[in-house]
Amino acid sequence: MYKEDLIAAYQRIKPHIHKTQVLSSRLLNEIIGAELYFKCENFQRMGAFKIRGATNAIKQLSESQRSKGVVTHSSGNFAQALSLAALQLNVKAYIVMPSNAPEVKKKAVLQYKGKIIECEPTLEAREAAATKISQEEGATFIHPSNDMDVILGQGTAAMELLEEYKDLELIFCPVGGGGLIAGTALAAKYFGNGCKVAGGEPFEADDAYRSLLSGKIESNETAHTIADGLRTQLGDQNFPIIREDVVKIIRVTEEEIIGAMRLIWERLKIVCEPSSAVALAALLREKENYQNKKIGIILSGGNVDLNNLPF
């Protein structure tokens, strides 16, 4: 159903993104007992996979829609992604950000010429502020994760990975709003060779784990996790895909996230953010179930506040 859409999305965004490299580590393979292939979206433009979905969504708008700009709400990476995608395509971007969003991410949005509107750090406040801008400016709202064009764009990272490593048995990725894991699940379904998809999620923001159990979209009362990119919840566009095509979501502790992040910094010699490390943390937690398998891991981003490292 979505195979042609994924191919079209990739062709659309290809001139505007990096084809990121894949790294592996003999030591990490030994620790897990499997062959691991890390898709380094921390090397992507603006430092995260989200430029893929943002670019695809803007490129699907009509000229008259583009002329009035786009608006989103985001604590960080999608804020930067939409700002940069809009800048490249000569479109105005209004970005609603919670007051507690990391300074490093606010600064990046401003560098990409996004216009920041601050709000209280609740989902209700974010949505209300974005709706107000849509009404006043005529800007098109683009959801960070619950938008089919965004989901298809995010799926192109796994498409690239599977093009390079056709025999992957499993792909792990972090779960926040659900755009990446839904896109990854579609890519694995149409371009993998029996490849399954699993997710990692913090115990402190485990709405997706609970949603799969209950069969309906659950929300988080609190989200006190270091993985600031995963403090959001699933939506009605991505949840049906996740429900059908994601085999498992593994929850991890804050200590496990920090430990996995440290391993990636030490062994792969690269900068990744805590949200990125959640996928490896999940695999580490249940590694006995994945012995001798070929596994892809999507490192979702590398936008870290270097003044505020957890180690």
Give tens-digit pLDDT for 44-81.
999 999 999 999 999 999 999 999 999 999 877 899 99
Quote the pLDDT of residue 308. Answer: 87
The Cα–Cα gap between 82 and 109 comes to 9
Task: Please report the pLDDT score of residue 11 as a whole number.
Answer: 98
The answer to whether 273 and 42 have CB atoms below 8 angstroms apart is yes
Which residues fall within 8 angstroms of residue 136, CB to CB, at 6 or more apart?
none
Instruction: Report the candidate in 36, 28, 18, 21 with the shortest Cα–Cα distance to residue 81.
Output: 18
Residue 295 and residue 168 in contact, taking contact as beta carbons nearer than 8 Å? yes
- 185/253 Cα distance (integer angstroms): 24
39 is catalytic: no
**Nearest by Cα to 182 from 210, 227, 146, 233:** 146
- Annotated catalytic residue 99: no
Spans of the chain, pLDDT less than 70: none
9, 153 contact by CB (below 8 A): yes
Average pLDDT, the chain: 96
How much is the pLDDT for 123? 80
Side by side, which strands form the sheet with 140-141?
115-119, 93-98, 70-73, 140-141
Phi then psi for 260, rounded to 5 degrees? -70, -40
Q: Which of 39, 50, 106, 189 is catalytic?
A: 50
Three-state SS across the chain? Answer: CCHHHHHHHHHHHHHHCCCCCEECCHHHHHHHCCEEEEEEHHHCHHHECHHHHHHHHHHCCCHHHHHHCEEEECCCHHHHHHHHHHHHCCCCEEEEEECCCCHHHHHHHHHCCCEEEEECCCHHHHHHHHHHHHHHHCCEECCCCCCHHHHHHHHHHHHHHHHHCCCCCEEEEECCCCHHHHHHHHHHHHHCCCCEEEEEEEHHHCHHHHHHHHCCCCCCCCCCCCCHHHCCCCCCCCHHHHHHHEEEEEEECHHHHHHHHHHHHHHHCCCCCHHHHHHHHHHHHCHHHHCCCEEEEEECECCCCCCCCCC
Active-site position among 39, 74, 75, 145: 75
Both tokens of residue 117?
A: 């509107």
CB 233 within 8 A of CB 207: yes
Contact of 185 with 243, CB cutoff 8 Å = no
Domains, the chain, ordered by start = 3-48+148-299 (3.40.50.1100), 51-141 (3.40.50.1100)
pLDDT of the residue at 185: 98
